[in-house]
Amino acid sequence: MTAAPSIATAVVMLSCIVTAAVALNVTTLPFDEGFCHLFGDDNLVRSPDGRSARLILNRYSGSGFISNDLYDHGFFSASIKLPSDYTAGVVVAFYTSNGDIFEKTHDELDFEFLGNTRGREWRIQTNVYGNGSTSRGREERYLLPFDPTVEAHRYSILWTSDFIIFYIDDTPIREVVRSDAMGGDYPSKPMSVYATIWDGSTWATGNGKYKVNYKYAPFVSDFSDLVLRGCRVDPIQQPDSARRCAEANEDLLTADFAVMTPKKRAAMRRFRERYMTYAFCYDTNRYPLTFPDCDVIPSEQSRFFEWGETKYPRERRRSRRQIRKPPRAGDPKREADV
């Protein structure tokens, strides 16, 4: 579950000045039109044109921002460039949550970017929490077909009343369809949108074996092409908001990013076959009773160990300048979490 300092959510109704974005058919907005400072003092730096923001982690603090409004479903997106070099223990997150309002029954949808030791790739995790299901995060973890530290790539969360889709650029990587089997675990209450960078030394890399090394600080992550498309709501007047948002949610369900064409499904299947490294549905060690909403496919299940990790991890990228020789026994890089 994504960690961030708790803060009372400001609900401010603002009109959005938008410009066209590439790839998916969405529109972007200036930072101050949709977001405000969450924590980190000077570790959040707005760009001179006001359309992007930089989040910094140093030995004094992480940083983060939050949407000005809560949303009753929506499409939320950002182009993100991640820190490079040694990033063990560093966690960058782009997510939705209502934990500040519903402390024990909160909902949450996460992109968590988990740093690593030098020479190892960033790992990306998606989580789905509903109604306080903190012990049932429905986690999946992936590697990437590109280096996310070289240039920004778009990460998007589509949350509707019927399904959830996680996108990387214009490729869907995960779809969660609402079902009776999920019960209250499907996120259903209005949520804010967050972006944070913070010290996850206790768990993020090698289950806490490799911690943040501030010799490599500051760790910098850039957020641009910000998108907030959904129905803004008043958390106190939710019944009225739900009625008012019905039409907006219908528009959301018919948008191009909500339509899973055969081409999109094929792209999602290829991505998951090549890059998914952990699947909660196949983690019988942590979850002895398979989740009722899991679609267990025997041929796919055979690719995973009982603790949910893939049996066939992809080889990490190597620099052309990197010496191609096997690591010596005891070399910490050999032991690093992949």
Do you know the residue count of the chain?
338
Residue 259, both tokens: 């339509």
Q: For 31-304, give the CATH class.
A: mainly beta
Chunked mean pLDDT (size 10), the chain, 338 residues: 43 33 75 97 96 97 97 96 96 96 93 94 95 87 96 97 96 96 91 97 93 97 97 74 80 93 96 95 92 88 92 57 40 37
The pLDDT of residue 137 is: 83
Q: Prior bond to 187 cis, omega within 30?
A: no
Distance separating alpha carbons of residues 327 and 198, to the nearest angstrom: 30
> What residue ranges do the domains of the chain occupy?
31-304
Q: What angle do CA 138, 127, 125 make, to 5 degrees?
A: 110
The pLDDT of residue 336 is: 38
Distance separating alpha carbons of residues 237 and 90, to the nearest angstrom: 38
pTM for this structure?
0.85
DSSP helix/strand/coil, 7: coil
Query: By the 8 A CB rule, do 37 and 67 touch?
Result: no
DSSP helix/strand/coil, 327: coil
The pLDDT of residue 29 is: 96
Distance separating alpha carbons of residues 200 and 149, to the nearest angstrom: 19
DSSP state of 85: S
Return the amino acid letter for 315: E
Number of other residues whose CB lies within 10 A of the CB of residue 68: 20
Separation in Å, CA 39 to CA 3, 63, 193, 195, 209: 12, 5, 14, 10, 27
Q: Which of 188, 175, 161 is nearest to 248 (CA)?
A: 161
Catalytic (active site) residue 112: yes
Catalytic option among 33, 103, 108, 306:
108
Distance separating alpha carbons of residues 79 and 146, to the nearest angstrom: 14
The pLDDT of residue 239 is: 63
Q: Give the list of residues 6+ apart from residue 43 with CB closer than 8 angstroms, or none.
A: 55, 56, 57, 58, 60, 61, 62, 63, 218
Q: Give the list of residues 6+ apart from residue 330 with CB closer than 8 angstroms, or none.
A: none
The pLDDT of residue 2 is: 52
Catalytic option among 112, 121, 139, 140:
112
Sequential DSSP letters for 239-250: HHHHHHHHHHHH
Q: Taking the alpha carbons of 240, 33, 55, 114 in that order, is the dihedral positive or negative?
A: positive
DSSP helix/strand/coil, 200: coil
